[in-house]
Structure 1
Amino acid sequence: MAVLKFRVYLEEDDAVYRDIVIQHKQFFQDLHFAILKAYEFDSKHQATFFRSNDNWQRGREISFAKYDKSYVAEPLLMSETTIGSEIRDTNQRFIYVYDFAKNWTFLVELINVSKEESSKITYPAISRTEGIGPQQYGTKSLLGDKFADIEEKYDLSEAAEGFGEEGEEKGGEHEEERNNGGEEDF
């Protein structure tokens, strides 16, 4: 059974990606849930895939459900469409859109096809994680809740501008030296 490896990029930042391995006989719904798990998103929102070309143009839609919107062509359903049935070439691309209100867009690119399946892996699986993924709702500091404790302990709000006054001189002799700096040499 063929194992497909997809690289799933965040559309805005190609340095943030997840590699997902999945069997070609598995369904787009399996890939959908694998992407959500890889980026730590919940599964409460609408989602769809689009078959894509090398220029990332949207083609045939493979949707989680038939949504109340107009379609150019009836969408295929993720639960009924195997991934292998939509692979047209060795670097097949898909566009994955999650949460139509927030419009999270991921670029999904086939990067490897292997005939060897591992008995140690439950497919689909995340095989590589690169970069810090976005937060689905709002932002989360790298330090998380600990930042508030640090801010309180060291009273970081006092230097809210980010710059202190140390080293700043107004008027003084340093400014005169800068103004007259090169005149005496001539």
Structure 2
Amino acid sequence: MYKIRVILDTQEDVIRTLLVNDSFNLEDLHFTIAKSFGFEGQEMASFYRTDEEWNQGEEIPLFNMAEAGEGISMQTCFLKETLPAINTKLIYVYDFLNMWTFYVDVVDITPEQKDNLPQTILSVGQIPNEAPEKEFIADKLDDNFGDEGDIDDEFGHFDDDFDFNEY
């Protein structure tokens, strides 16, 4: 059995602590999280692998999006494999139009089994009427590229009349 804390990325504290079966896949967790926050679970969503500092990594979409059908999806990722230890983390994004963003953290894993799972054992705060606005700000890059003439200096002169179609 997993005890999972889910925190909405917002100014106010909006937290749910869930108990779920260790046999769950991420699709089951998706519906459990959505329901615990009052959503229907009908919108597109994705989990993202993350490190200890919550840096977003590989996407695990609700549906397999690969052309050949070999990509991962929530249905093929089980908790035991995706969240193998306490303090394993994921980022969960629900409804890509509104970008509800949640931090998912494994609080405890026990061999104990319960029949009435999933269960919300702690509910703090109310979800706002609208998703918090997301502001994506990239770090400012130093302009070390110089002038266009630098390319000629570094790599030799490129003829403008070079015909790439010859090859």
TM-score under structure 2 normalisation? 0.69
Q: CA RMSD in A?
A: 2.1
Larger helix proportion of the pair = 1
1:4 & 1:43 partners in 2: Cα distance?
A: 21
Q: Which runs of 5+ in 2 are unaligned?
A: 132-167
1:19 & 1:75 partners in 2: Cα distance?
A: 30
2:37 is aligned to 39
Is contact 2:30–2:41 with CA below 8 Å preserved after alignment? no
Establish whether residue 96 from structure 1 lines up as the match of residue 92 from structure 2.
Answer: yes
Matches within 5 A, 1:99-178: 99-119=95-115, 121=116, 123-135=117-129
Change (3 A) 1:136 1:12: closer
Higher-Rg member (1/2) = 1
Measured after TM superposition, the shift of residue 116 of structure 1 is 1.1
Is contact 2:93–2:102 with CA below 8 Å preserved after alignment? yes
Q: Which runs of 5+ in 1 are unaligned?
A: 69-73, 138-186
State the number of aligned residues: 128
1:65 to 63, 66, 75: 63
TM-score under structure 1 normalisation? 0.63
Percent identical: 29
Measured after TM superposition, the shift of residue 75 of structure 1 is 5.1
Runs of 4+ off more than 4 Å:
none
